[in-house]
Amino acid sequence: METNPGSFLARLARPDYLWNRMNRRIRTWFCGAAALLAVWGLALTLYHGFDRQKVTADRIRQWMESTDLARLQGRDRAHALQQLADWINALPFEERRRLRLSGLWTNWFAAMTEAERAAFLDATLPTGMEQMLSAFEELPPDRRQRMLRDALRRLQEAATDLGNEVVAPPPGWSEELQRQVAVHGLRAFYARSSAQTKAELAPVLEEIQRLMQSGRWMRGGGQP
């Protein structure tokens, strides 16, 4: 607290007093502005970093196109397969479906050994698939067949929407095969299928799981 007005006025008369006070305020303002800019810069850096790391079907396809699995051996090959499995598991349903319907997917799967295919299928089987298979088994055969047809129809529509980038849903799904699956269930069919057939069946299973999760089929409804 100032007790001597004369000394205060004397300091005001000094040419460096006001200058020093202004300098302190300017320095404080600049420090605050610099800190704010630093915070914004860090936030933008993290945002763009996370955006670059975001997994999408297109980015995985670009990586698969630039990576020749047939030329990889040992640890590099195992790392590539694990990386692909992790990325697929991180995809939302629509993006995973796009990738599974891609023709490039079949090229990669063809380059895997039987052991690699089995391990890869186990690693990328969607969460809750066992519960879905059990729920499917509990449905009457006519509803199983209707659900299977609906799932195949949705996949075909998705393939058509994606154009020439995709292959059609699993080949050979005749009316007779659909009837057998409806009668005997998906679990038995999946268990005795080859790794290649299981890979082709994966998008069908996910589509059925999606239908079940909607609740419409489980309440006795059918196609929307």
DSSP for 46-77, please give it.
HHHHHHHH---HHHHHHHHHH--GGG--HHHH
In this predicted structure, what is the pLDDT of residue 190?
82
DSSP code of residue 165: G
Give the residues across from 164 on adjacent strands: none
Backbone conformation region of residue 158, classed left if phi is above 0, alpha if psi is from -120 to 50, else beta? alpha
Find out whether 86 and 120 touch, Cβ atoms under 8 Å. no
Parts of the chain with a pLDDT under 50: 12, 38-52, 223-224
Q: Where are the domains of the chain?
A: 7-53, 57-214
In this predicted structure, what is the pLDDT of residue 49?
40
Find out whether 37 and 73 touch, Cβ atoms under 8 Å. no
Say which residues have a Cβ less than 8 Å from residue 85's Cβ, sequence separation at least 6: 120, 123, 124
pTM of the complete model? 0.65
In this predicted structure, what is the pLDDT of residue 24?
62
